[in-house]
Amino acid sequence: MMEEVRKELTALGRTDASVPAVTQRHVIDSLVMGEGVCVFTWKQYRFVNVYRKTLDLDKACLESKYPRSAALRFLKRRDVVAWMSDRSEMELVKRSWDAEGRWWVEGDKMFKAPTVPRHKLEVWKEFGDRLEVKPGRNAVDDLTGRQTIINISPDAISAIRERERVVEAEIVNGDA
């Protein structure tokens, strides 16, 4: 009997990010979007989960066998208000994350496809460059605010290579 109740309550409260802890008399459920936990009795936990999904107080009281007057007092508890707000925020984020037309949803579809057309890949590369700007040759230092200009010409490279040859020749001749 106890194991069946534990499984039922665990399944009732399982989310993508948390699994409630079911003890002898209580259910301890952590907040998903914030810090903290909320402690419920078994009846309260059944009630609050049905109420959260339906927002029908009478139906939640009937299904969980929780008295209406006690339910009204229970819903005013600070930790229960925080838990309900947390779950509401979690559902909002989940719905917006999977919303059709969002760039990350479209990108996920594209990268799951067996082949990706080159033009789409180039668009996504450009989009990625705009999200995370790659450091350029003329970058501004975040700490000092100074701009560093790197000016490398073919003449400068030939001069550097010539100096390297001279230094190497001096090292070789100096050892002999």
Q: DSSP label at 37?
A: E
Give the range with max mean pLDDT: 46-50, 92-96, 170-174: 46-50
> What confidence score (pLDDT) does residue 139 get?
58
Q: Is 72 exposed, middle or buried (0-12, 13-18, 19+ CB in 10 A)?
A: exposed
Q: Name residues whose C-beta falls within 8 Å of residue 16's C-beta, 6 or more positions apart in sequence.
A: 94
pLDDT score for 135: 62
Reported as a single tens digit per residue, the pLDDT across 78-104 is 999 999 999 999 888 888 777 777 777
Helix 118-131 vs helix 103-112: angle between axes, to the nearest 10 degrees? 140
Can you list the alpha helix ranges (DSSP code H) found in the chain?
2-13, 42-54, 57-64, 68-74, 78-97, 103-112, 118-131, 154-175
Q: Which backbone phi and psi does 137 adopt, to 5 degrees?
A: -70, -35
The pTM (predicted TM-score) of the whole model is: 0.56
Q: For the segment 14-42, what is each residue's pLDDT rounded down to a tens digit?
A: 766 778 888 888 989 988 888 889 999 98
